Structure 1
Amino acid sequence: MKGKLLLLLALVFSVPSLSFASVDLVKVDKSKRRMYLMEGNHVVREYRVALGNSPKGHKTQEGDQRTPEGRYYLDFIMEDSQFYRSIHISYPNLRDRTHARRYNLDPGGDIKIHGLKNNETRPANFVQSFDWTDGCIAITNQEMDELLNLVDIGTPIEIYW
């Protein structure tokens, strides 16, 4: 329903309908540094992402600078942080907490998709050309605005190498 209503609004206001896609899944391919916003089997947006300094492998503990792998959910938006807007990823899940407990580790948390650091003065394309987060998924500020317009709270996110 949401997608049809937005498409109708796009037609009425002569706005390209692609900007009002109904995203039902976010995929992150860590090995390619790409995030895909999916509507069914169709990619409606693709972004280059920056990850943590040790991106290969699943996040297992606080401070390992890895982005978790698996299926999670985008569970709430944070407007007040050290980054330009962000949406939280539901890491750690029960499996992550159980694994951490078994090995007496702190699984960490606070994993998000976010824009650039507040007060960043370097060009976004330069900043995004290398991995610089502590395990989050970073996109440009403009892309972050677009993502938050296209993705609803509760949307699943699949992260893989």
Structure 2
Amino acid sequence: MRVLSLILAVVMAFALSGCASKFKVYNGPEVTQVLVYKSDRKMYLMHGNQVLESYNIDLGFAPVGHKQFQGDGKTPEGTYRIDRRNPNSEFHLSVGINYPNTTDVAFATSQGKNPGGDIFFHGQPNRFKKASRRDWTAGCIAVKNAEMEDIYAMVKDGTIVTIYP
């Protein structure tokens, strides 16, 4: 009985450690802003003027220009905020930005269209190992899964995100 309890405890510890590895802890300087440069395919996590981390990124399938409408495949440009996180994302982990903002909604409405939404920083799709091409998202910003684990730990809700062309 004692051996069975010990085996069960070891199995549960391994199972829990596997789950916990997805959720890292970050104790470094606060990320005060996220800068995204679409044309360079780079994202920087900043503390003031100091770069804490930099990442190569993939964008929406039609990356040039500002996202205006649902389904256009563009990644937004402008200033937004991190406003939510999804630990159960279809793309490993994800943190969302507040696209569309009031300006985005007003423009799309003036054109009789839907601005779209659900724009996230996220990892790779859960259903296969890696995206097969560059700029494959519907308008999100994608990184490698291990990088997304760092981003998820480092970036807090309310953090300013500026996305440049």
Aligned to 2:45: 37
Deviations, residues 100-139 of structure 1 (Å, cap 9, x unaligned): 11110100000000000003224xxxx4861110100001
Q: For residues 28 and 95 of structure 1, do their structure 2 counterparts lie closer, same or farther at Cα, with a shift above 3 Å needed?
A: same
What is the number of equivalent residue pairs in this alignment? Answer: 140
Answer yes or no: is the 8 Å Cα contact 1:55–1:67 preserved in 2.
yes
Aligned to 2:162: 158
* Paired amino acid for 2:34: V
- Larger radius of gyration between Structure 1 and Structure 2: 2
Deviations, residues 77-112 of structure 1 (Å, cap 9, x unaligned): 112232101001100000000001111010000000
Aligned to 1:74: 82
* Separation in 2, partners of 1:24, 1:129: 31
* Separation in 1, partners of 2:46, 2:129: 31
Answer yes or no: is the 8 Å Cα contact 1:57–1:69 preserved in 2.
yes
| Structure 1: tracts of 5 or more residues without a match | 1-17
Q: Does 1:104 align with 2:112?
A: yes
Report how far residue 149 of structure 1 moved. Answer: 1.3
Q: Does 1:53 align with 2:57?
A: no
* Separation in 2, partners of 1:105, 1:118: 31
Please point out which of 82, 95, 120 is paired with 1:87.
Answer: 95
> Secondary structure of the equivalent of 2:39?
helix
* Paired amino acid for 2:120: K
Q: Which moved more, 1:72-81 or 1:61-70?
A: 72-81
Report how far residue 22 of structure 1 moved. Answer: 1.2
Question: Percent identity at matched positions?
Answer: 43
| RMSD between aligned residues | 1.6
TM-score for the superposition, normalised by structure 2: 0.81
Aligned to 1:144: 148
Aligned to 2:10: none
* Separation in 2, partners of 1:33, 1:128: 17
TM-score for the superposition, normalised by structure 1: 0.83
* Separation in 1, partners of 2:89, 2:156: 20
Please point out which of 64, 69, 79 is paired with 2:72.
Answer: 64
